[in-house]
Amino acid sequence: MQTPKIFESEYRFCLILWENEPVSSRVLSELCKERLGWSKTTTYTVIKRLSDRGVVKNENTIVTSLVSKDEAQKAEIDELVEKKFEGSLPAFIAAFAKSKKLSQEDIDEIRRIIDK
């Protein structure tokens, strides 16, 4: 299944969720207020939006993720590879390796993520 699109701000939200899930929406809104500067309404709107998109699940005010961090990262990289490297994974890794010194281990790790 195609992993749903997660925008940057939503991704920041997901980071908090992944760290704390399962978590009640009330606690989540407090965490978001503290770390993202979000109002309660904004948090609830985002939960609703992400659950509509199938990224999270809100059952009896307990929020859990349906997409793991790995899946999200993979989807993001897929999109990047598709958009900027014409789908070429090696080109991507090469570019990636150019900008940052990567160990073989790192490269293997990226491959692992992408291959999933």
What distance in Å separates the CA atoms of residue 65 and residue 63, rounded to the nearest whole number? 7
The residue from 5, 7, 27, 82 that contacts another protein (CB under 8 A) is: 7
Closer residue to another protein in complex, CB, 14/67 = 14
By CB under 8 A, tell whether 10 contacts another protein.
yes
CA end-to-end span of the chain, whole Å?
A: 12
Q: Segment contacting another protein (CB under 8 A): 20-28, 30-38, 56-64, 68-76?
A: 30-38
**Window 40 to 79, contacts with another protein (CB under 8 A):** 41-42, 45-46
Residue whose pair of structure tokens reads 């309660």 in the numeric block: 40
Distance separating alpha carbons of residues 6 and 58, to the nearest angstrom:
17
Is residue 114 within 8 Å of 89, Cβ to Cβ? yes
Contact set with another protein (CB under 8 A): 7-10, 12-13, 35-39, 41-42, 45-46
